[in-house]
Amino acid sequence: MANRQHNSRAIRILLAALLLCTAWAVQAQPPKLPAIGDILCADGTFVAPGQWATATGKIAKGVVFYVNPQMPTRGLAIALKDLGRYQWSSKDKGDVPSLPNMQTRTVALRDVAGRANTRALRAMPAADYPAAHAISTDDWTAGWYLPAAGELRLLYARYPQVATALGYIEIRDRGSTSVLNDVYWSSTEFGTSYAWIVTRHMRAYNGCYIKSYSWWVRPVLAF
């Protein structure tokens, strides 16, 4: 009888040790580093698109389209949905004094200061600058902004991976995404009457467009 009790106690100790080792092993695993096309979750973690169907309890927040090679935990994510079509400005003529005027395609596509650009636009009256103000106050506070032309260039360079991830999210979470459109407003200003749009087919056309025209708006987030 004493032997059986001793053996039972030994087995319980062994099982407890195994469970503890398993817990330590799980905790020791480093968090997944973001990769292009990963799904950014509301809890700040990243899930590969092919694993989304079984990612129980995860809520999609955006899709990663850029990872900083010098800081691999930092990057950019695109929102799951368009906000709609908006005018960059309701006025055909009106320069934003705090925004630099970028008057060549090459210079415009180097602009990655979307957060600062959006801040300057949101400092102006909402009725005059609808595209930047289409982002809700809560989303702006949370870090979402109107991307600069260079950030949209990065997005379209990774179009297939982003489109794939949006598709996986849509399969599991119906109605939570919209496909990427072919043309978006950037927050990059050309001058008094024009701002920059960026297109999916970048070799065909990327140019400045009259500010009072309505193009698609889709926010991005720096993580």
Q: Is residue 40 part of a domain?
A: no
Could you tell me where the DSSP H helices lie in 123-195?
A: 130-133, 137-141, 149-157, 159-172
Query: What's the rounded mean pLDDT across residues 145-150?
Result: 98
Specify the number of domains making up the chain. 2
Are 10 and 115 part of one and the same domain? no
Q: How far apart are CA 150 and CA 11, in angstroms?
A: 62
Are 209 and 85 contacting, i.e. CB atoms less than 8 angstroms apart? no
DSSP helix/strand/coil, 52: helix
**pLDDT tens profile 42-74:** 999 999 999 999 999 999 999 999 999 999 999
Are 5 and 98 part of one and the same domain? no
Are 83 and 26 part of one and the same domain? no
Q: How far apart are CA 106 and CA 87, in angstroms?
A: 24
What's the CA angle centered on 146, arms 208 and 164, to 5 degrees? 95
Are 160 and 83 part of one and the same domain? yes
User: What number of residues does the chain have?
Assistant: 223
Q: Which helix (H) or strand (E) holds 12?
A: helix 2-28
Q: In the chain, pLDDT over 70 holds for what percent of residues? A: 85
Are 18 and 98 part of one and the same domain? no
Q: Is residue 15 part of a domain?
A: yes
Model confidence at 3, in pLDDT bands (50, 70, 90)?
Answer: low
Q: How far apart are CA 133 and CA 123, in angstroms?
A: 10
Domain assignment of residue 16, given as a range:
1-30
DSSP β-bridge partners for residue 145: 220
DSSP state letter for 54: G
DSSP helix/strand/coil, 21: helix
pTM for this predicted structure: 0.85
Q: Is residue 104 part of a domain?
A: yes
**pLDDT tens profile 87-139:** 999 987 889 999 999 999 999 999 999 999 999 999 999 999 999 999 999 99
The residue assigned the tokens 């506070």 is 141
Are 91 and 185 part of one and the same domain? yes
Q: Sign of the CA dihedral 55, 57, 63, 69?
A: negative
Residue 140, token pair as written in the block: 């702006």
Q: Is residue 164 part of a domain?
A: yes
CA 180: distance to chain centroid?
A: 12
Residue 157, token pair as written in the block: 């360079």
Are 23 and 87 part of one and the same domain? no
